[in-house]
Structure 1
Amino acid sequence: MATVNTTALKTASVLAFERKLDPSDAMFFAGSWGQRRSAAQWAPISVREKSVRGTISNRLKTKDQDPAKLDAAIENPNLQTVDVATLPADADTLKVTFTLRVLGGAGTPSSCNNSAYQAKLLATVQGYVEGLGFSELAGRYAHNLANARFLWRNRVGAEQVEVQVQHLVQGEAAQTWIFDALAVPTREFNASGASAQPLLELSELLAKGLAGKSHVLLQVTAFARLGAAQEVYPSQELILDKGNSGKSKTLYVVGGVAGIHSQKLGNALRTIDTWHPDVAELGPIAVEPYGSVTTLGKACRRPTEKLDFYSLLDGWILKDKVPAPEQQHFVMATLIRGGVFGDAGKD
């Protein structure tokens, strides 16, 4: 392989990558636990509105803590209209289904306006593939399919959770793996027991897909036994311009069926970063350039510590400072995530 001259190598001002794990939206259905492996029809779960009368419970300012003002405030109830989704009274199990495409070409930019930089980038990625390969990343993605992390709040408190993963070839299931999701841990990526061999087979298939050696399309179906008539939790829509709408919460619906955004599924699948400094406290976090955990308002990969994606990538490509193997995994996982990473500010 020809050596690339890096004397004046600079980051491309236009540098973009397409995501290589491409989930569809997930759809919600209801049925009985005993029907999860039968051909029985599962009823789609719809979203309905309900109005509730709440009480004043927010933190009061000092001027509003006067008893008379508080009594006056309580006389005005907190009226809300919200969306809600539940299982019907005769169904105890939530079925969530989506498809996942695994694309090859990981680390190959979809847009790059610097040929020298692209040549060095591709050589670096090839070195990673030959040296470490996709086995580690694929194993972690497979783990997050098996443990049903993508169910989010619907996984919490479930009595039983089963995940069925089918490898589709020309529309037919060429192979099927079944996992007891609650037996697969969410804070570590060590497979054991009955899940070990199916996880290994699924991770090998994902690795082939990422390497571009096989076409990989998966049908993923999860069953969560929650209890009859229990509430379920689709994605919540972010309404930037509510206009005249008085609704406090709007849930995601596709064709009248409750669902989860593909972006939220992708976030769950890439929750594999255990190489950040706060892993003892937080466990795995989603792969993000700065290790962002929005629910905590925290960045786990701070540029001052040179563990953010940009510092690692620039050191690796521009300065030939090869990161530790675990940080190489992080950089590649970020490229698989996709995004726009150009450095337009230097030109």
Structure 2
Amino acid sequence: MSKITLKTASVLAFERKLDPSDALLFSGAWADRNNASNWSEITLREKSVRGTISNRLKAKDQDPTKVDAAIESANLQTVDIAALDSQHDTLQMRFTLRVLSGAGTPSACNNADYQQKLQQTVQGYVQDQGFSELAKRYASNLANGRFLWRNRMGAEQVEVRVARLVDGQAAQNYCFNSLDFSLRNFESNSPELEQLAETISKGLAEEEHVLLEITAFARLGAGQEVFPSQELILDRGRGDKSKTLYQVGNIAALHSQKVGNALRTIDTWYPVEEDQLALGPIAIEPYGSVTTQGKAYRQPKKKMDFYNLLDAWLLKDQVPAVEQQHYVMAILIRGGVFGDAS
């Protein structure tokens, strides 16, 4: 009998295995980190401002009289704002994180042969490499407070506490001084970080049920502005605000997607040109896309994107370098729809 040529499934989907909740924001004092009752919810308020025209003008609009006329027309805006209480100097951010097993097992696949080969490949990776490298990087992004995003910048002190919950109670506790951990690499280490990484690794490997509660404190200064997620308003006919912030039950919050993006910012294995400066870790994405730069660091032409690496590994039995195996597995942990559309 002739060997059946393996083809990518046209229906292929994976559920995410790192599942964060929305992150809620609270206001309090740095000295009250151990007293939960002294923290108040951060709510949104509106602010109306009279801005100036500062956008780049077209050549036809650069006549002095036209510029003066434009400046006279004030740039009126109504925006959402969130800030600490005037008596409080510290932001508290809270969210939970589920670590799920079954990485590499598709939630939908319409090709049994392909699914069998995929599971064999994933099992081979787990036996040879395990989840220790990926788990350490996820743990590092909890310890360094990357999920605080702009709220971390310029903070005088940042502390992250991680509690592993069993039956609703904290069975293990970890505490990190986030400023001791780099955002540029994953070389920082500590005994607590190793223990947290081992816990996450066991959750991914289905050895234990893992639910984490993360509480971060950033000392910013009394009354300082904080930065929840900004809503994308697709229907511009709704309201007249130029900036709408996200809230959950009247509490300012970050989207779970934004928290998840920070946790999976672990890709240091992307190719870098000789004339390029290394960007540091980027989020795990099929094409290595960095939207703030408008650039994809894993171009299909270089065969370093997720689809080329996965197809070479599964369909052609060309085993990628260990670093790229980590990357492919991180994509499967991230989840998504990866079928070969006809």
- If the TM-score is normalised by the length of the shorter chain, which range does it land in? over 0.9
1:56 aligns with 2:53: yes
* Partner SS, residue 272 of structure 1: strand
Alignment of 1:1-347 (within 5 A): 7-192=4-189, 196-278=190-272, 280-345=277-342
Cα separation, 2, equivalents of 1:344 and 1:283: 33
Q: In terms of mean alpha carbon deviation, does 241-250 or 33-42 score higher? A: 33-42
Query: Can you give the 5+ residue segments of structure 2 that lack an aligned partner in the other structure?
Result: none
Check 1:335–1:33 CA distance in 2 against 1; reply closer, same or farther (3 A cut).
same
Q: In terms of mean alpha carbon deviation, does 172-181 or 273-282 score higher? A: 273-282
Runs of 4+ in 1 over 6 A off after TM superposition: none
* Partner SS, residue 242 of structure 2: strand
TM-score by length of 2: 0.97
Check 1:6–1:95 CA distance in 2 against 1; reply closer, same or farther (3 A cut).
farther
Cα separation, 2, equivalents of 1:82 and 1:92: 23
* Partner SS, residue 219 of structure 1: strand
Check 1:70–1:98 CA distance in 2 against 1; reply closer, same or farther (3 A cut).
same
Deviations along 1:53-77, one digit per CA (max 9) or x if unpaired, are 0001000000110001111111100
Check 1:79–1:39 CA distance in 2 against 1; reply closer, same or farther (3 A cut).
closer
Q: In terms of mean alpha carbon deviation, does 157-166 or 237-246 score higher? A: 237-246
Cα separation, 2, equivalents of 1:132 and 1:273: 17
Structure 1 position 142, deviation (Å): 0.1
Cα separation, 2, equivalents of 1:37 and 1:188: 30
Deviations along 1:254-297, one digit per CA (max 9) or x if unpaired, are 00000000000000000000000138521100000000000000
Deviations along 1:92-146, one digit per CA (max 9) or x if unpaired, are 0000000000000000000000000000000000000000000000000000000
Query: Can you give the 5+ residue segments of structure 1 that lack an aligned partner in the other structure?
Result: none
* Partner SS, residue 182 of structure 1: helix
> Does the aligned pair in 2 maintain the 1:19–1:338 contact within 8 Å?
yes
Q: In terms of mean alpha carbon deviation, does 203-212 or 30-39 score higher? A: 30-39
* Partner SS, residue 164 of structure 2: strand
Structure 1 position 245, deviation (Å): 1.4
Cα separation, 2, equivalents of 1:214 and 1:186: 29
Check 1:251–1:39 CA distance in 2 against 1; reply closer, same or farther (3 A cut).
closer
TM-score by length of 1: 0.96
Deviations along 1:172-219, one digit per CA (max 9) or x if unpaired, are 000100000011111111124xxx100000000000000011000000
> Does the aligned pair in 2 maintain the 1:6–1:318 contact within 8 Å?
no
Check 1:35–1:332 CA distance in 2 against 1; reply closer, same or farther (3 A cut).
same
What do you get for the CA RMSD once the two structures are aligned?
1.1
Structure 1 position 244, deviation (Å): 4.4
Aligned AA (1:90): Q
